[in-house]
Structure 1
Amino acid sequence: MTIDLRGRSAMADHMVIASGRNARQVASIAEKLVERLKQQAGRSARVEGKETGDWVLIDTDDVIVHVFRPEVREFYQLEKMWMPADALRSAALDRLRADHAADQAGPTRN
């Protein structure tokens, strides 16, 4: 999920919120993202939280990426803090559809 922060926050222009199914996947997503940012865009990033894998924050100055385990994402609910209500409802429906599609696809390897 991407949230436009322009005009609403001085910390970044955009916020990306993503989830991994477990701590290992969260750390792996963060690691690959940082790697690709450096290789493909020549951008460096500051990373916090990769050691625990519950919530990893990647700061590239104009974009902040949060990668959560599902339980941690639900607890903090950053979407509710930063998104307008109608956009939040639409995003929630999209997330339910994606979760349903993932459930239909079956289990994944850890």
Structure 2
Amino acid sequence: MKRKFYLTALAALSATAIGTAYAAKAIENDALAIETAKISLTQAVTVAEQQIGGKASRAEYEKHKGQWIFDVEVVNGKKVMDVKVDPMSGKVIAATEDKADHDDDHDQAD
């Protein structure tokens, strides 16, 4: 009886260890993935705002081309910029104008 208990406990612990290792390896949920970032979302926003000289209107942690990044939308005057910040170094990877977010025709699509 005692042996069955130990075998059952060992099986449960093994399953838990394997499940935990798998979950850590295959992080697809941005809420969980952000734990691996070396900088915070707030720090990424600050870096993006300083790079563009504007104010952030949106920021998220997302997977882009297989790599996790901070994607920050920064508004400077009439320009809307998409700024990608490396979550490990805190450096700007790319900054491109987001022409789709301009409200030039006052339509609801923007």
Q: Which has the larger radius of gyration?
A: 2
TM-score by length of 2: 0.24
Larger relative strand fraction? 2
**Larger RCO (CA under 8 A, 6+ residues apart):** 1
TM-score by length of 1: 0.24
